[in-house]
Structure 1
Amino acid sequence: MAHARFPERTADVAANLTSPVLGRPLCANGTPWILYIFEECVENVWEYWSVVIGLISMFCFLLSTLPQVYEAYRNGKVEEAMSFGFPLFLFSGDLSSLIGCVLTSQLPIQIVAVVFYIFTDLLLISQFIYYKIKNRSSKKSTMLKWLCFLWCSISTVALLILPKFITDNNTSVNTQSTSNSLELSGYACGYLASIFYLSSRFPQIYKNFKRQSTEGTSYMLFALAMMGNGTYGLSVMVVLPALTGSKQTFILKHLAWLIGSLGVLVLDVVVTTQFIIYRKNCSGKTIKKLKVPEVEPLLCEEEELSTF
């Protein structure tokens, strides 16, 4: 889900964008808003659309889990529809991505985005545990509601403070040259995150296959994730014609995130196929549940009238 938009960015990029003598930007022909927000010099149409498509990708990921949160709140049967491995692997992937972003000195906006991803992962996990305990217990526990409310409140406050703490710490570290070992560790975390993202889909695919149904899960989660992963891959590829350096080196630096994004995109196509195939099964069961209570009383009334 989460990804590093500029994994090759090092600590001295921001310093190179301004003149040490005059304090003026060296990127005279660059796009002002991209230079201000991302500290990146974009001077041609290929790089411009790469940034715009990357922002669309980030926006899709930010919204992807919210439909599932609402769906779980609406039906209250999360454990029946969703595999616990799905949010757990997502959380592990986003946590690994956050560590990778910090070690490779990513932009503050990327760190904030990853922290938001972690927040939505925790929300999904909390919902799963809450409804699992609630549905198993015969009585509605007021204590359980208060514990969940307290947990969500503490998580929200912690995740609001965490980006500021990380970015401030990251800025102080950026004054020194980042060691190669730290960068290598960051890229290793990127590959680890890709493995977690790929692993997140398999438990849900198996769960859908075992149930022969996708009822209780929101397709918008997977649709937005597909859009996010597809646009991320496109944002990386579209900048290739404008590169002056080695294209192979550029792809290698993005390879971990490309494997995770495009690999998950393929698996989400499998989930989409399941939604199409199992939709008939869901609709058939729903029609039966709706029709049987209405038909049976009518048949009983007809039998009683025929006896008179």
Structure 2
Amino acid sequence: MAHVRYPEATSVDVATNLSSVLGRPLCVNGTPWILYLFEECVENVWEYSSVVIGLISMFCFLLSTLPQVYEAYRNGKVEEAMSIGFLLFLFSGDLSNFAGCYLTNQLPIQIVTAVFYIFTDVILISQFLYYKIKNKSTRKNPFLKWMCFLWCGAATVGCMVLPKLIEENSVNPVTQNPSNSVEISGYACGYLASVFYLASRLPQLYKNFKRQSTEGTSYLLFALAMLGNGTYGLSLIVVLPSLNGSKSLFLLNHMAWLIGSLGVLFLDFFISAQFILYRKHSSSQSVQLAMKKVPEVEPLLCEEEEP
């Protein structure tokens, strides 16, 4: 989300609008809950709308992978439906996004959200590998199930501990005031994440085209991603009228994330078209198959002879 944030972390008494450190900017007319949660000074309707739309975007991204996890559990053939390239590029994009958030000293909630993205990617990749090995095996292997449970448990613990470790390390003044080289590296990670996100859709598009089907994939995964990407771009556009500085510089600083979000949104329209096209194709094939299974019955005319 793009809003006015204090250049350094500062403790502000919202009730009296007093800063604990002299020389820091005060947020006199800011929204208290946004100031408390995000350390952002929101003083007009444009900035407030941008925050709300940004929260909707974050919420959509947090929920986007859950329908696919359920669909894979229900269907059990995720390796036939999902492209491993899609999952690996998505995982690489979330890793780059996390590195960019950390290097550019973003808000704690953004870092925690980035860690949650990585966690859901680990679950999707684990499901893919589990069902791929399970469906290839001719006999049941209980060790595979326990190994998957242990791996997911370790990933859960790691994702819970990682934000706490980052928060403790953020006390370091070097992290609070990052150098230009560190910030440049963070923005470079943002562009790299955009490239990975854009590349993730291409293997899935090819997989659907090759199969001529989208069975086994949940459309809610892409629908929520489209909604999240669209609202993220809208949150940046809405805040433009309230900016006092250069609007072009603001867009340049967020260009990496704009390219990634709007580019993925464009590619997801093609995936949506595949869902519509192949659903009609599969329904027509099922009707033809059902007609073949029904035996043909020819009407017989029987005339009764009157004695």
Deviation at 1:11, TM superposition (A): 5.3
Within 2, Cα distance between the matches of 1:289 and 1:71? 25
Q: Is the 8 A contact 2:105 2:175 kept in 1?
A: no
Within 1, Cα distance between the matches of 2:98 and 2:229? 17
Q: TM-score, structure 2 length as denominator?
A: 0.89
Aligned partner of 1:26: which letter? L
After superposition, where does 1:56-135 map in structure 2 within 5 Å? 56-135=56-135
Aligned residue for 2:302? none
Within 1, Cα distance between the matches of 2:112 and 2:40? 18
Within 2, Cα distance between the matches of 1:222 and 1:244? 36
Q: Is the 8 A contact 2:96 2:190 kept in 1?
A: yes
Question: Given the superposition, is the C-alpha separation of residues 92 and 18 from structure 1 closer, same or farther in structure 2, using an over 3 Å criterion?
Answer: farther
Question: Given the superposition, is the C-alpha separation of residues 291 and 76 from structure 1 closer, same or farther in structure 2, using an over 3 Å criterion?
Answer: farther
Deviates more, 1:151-160 or 1:14-23: 14-23
Within 1, Cα distance between the matches of 2:6 and 2:27? 17
Deviation at 1:276, TM superposition (A): 0.8
Provide Cα deviations, 1:54-98, integer angstroms capped at 9, x if missing partner.
Answer: 000000000001000100100100111110011111110000010
Aligned partner of 2:158: which letter? A
Deviation at 1:15, TM superposition (A): 6.3
Deviation at 1:178, TM superposition (A): 1.4
Within 2, Cα distance between the matches of 1:160 and 1:118? 12
Query: 5+ residue gaps in structure 2?
Result: 299-307
After superposition, where does 1:112-261 map in structure 2 within 5 Å? 112-173=112-173, 176-261=176-261
Within 2, Cα distance between the matches of 1:202 and 1:7? 33
Within 2, Cα distance between the matches of 1:164 and 1:181? 25
Deviates more, 1:166-175 or 1:133-142: 166-175
Question: Given the superposition, is the C-alpha separation of residues 120 and 298 from structure 1 closer, same or farther in structure 2, using an over 3 Å criterion?
Answer: farther
Within 2, Cα distance between the matches of 1:171 and 1:7? 23
Deviation at 1:232, TM superposition (A): 0.1
Deviation at 1:12, TM superposition (A): 1.4
Q: Which has the larger radius of gyration?
A: 2
Within 2, Cα distance between the matches of 1:112 and 1:67? 21
Aligned residue for 2:41? 41
2:8 pairs with 1:12:
yes
What secondary structure, in the 3-state scheme, does the structure 2 residue paired with 1:171 have? coil
Within 2, Cα distance between the matches of 1:131 and 1:290? 30
Within 1, Cα distance between the matches of 2:290 and 2:124? 30
Deviation at 1:166, TM superposition (A): 1.2
Aligned partner of 1:12: which letter? E
Aligned partner of 1:62: which letter? L
What CA RMSD, in Å, does the superposition of the two structures yield over aligned residues? 2.5
The number of equivalent residue pairs is 294
Q: TM-score, structure 1 length as denominator?
A: 0.89
Within 1, Cα distance between the matches of 2:127 and 2:21? 55
Within 2, Cα distance between the matches of 1:125 and 1:213? 21
Question: Given the superposition, is the C-alpha separation of residues 124 and 253 from structure 1 closer, same or farther in structure 2, using an over 3 Å criterion?
Answer: same
Within 2, Cα distance between the matches of 1:199 and 1:264? 9
Structure with a larger share of its residues in helix: 1
Q: Is the 8 A contact 2:2 2:235 kept in 1?
A: no
Q: Quote the sequence identity (%).
A: 68
Deviation at 1:285, TM superposition (A): 3.9
Within 2, Cα distance between the matches of 1:15 and 1:97? 28
Query: 5+ residue gaps in structure 1?
Result: 300-308
Deviates more, 1:45-54 or 1:8-17: 8-17
Within 1, Cα distance between the matches of 2:290 and 2:140? 27
Aligned residue for 1:304? none
Q: Is the 8 A contact 1:67 1:218 kept in 2?
A: yes
Deviation at 1:14, TM superposition (A): 3.6
Deviates more, 1:164-173 or 1:253-262: 164-173
Aligned partner of 1:222: which letter? F
Q: Is the 8 A contact 1:9 1:106 kept in 2?
A: no
Within 1, Cα distance between the matches of 2:200 and 2:176? 37
Deviation at 1:263, TM superposition (A): 0.2
Provide Cα deviations, 1:136-172, integer angstroms capped at 9, x if missing partner.
Answer: 0101111100100110111111111111111221233
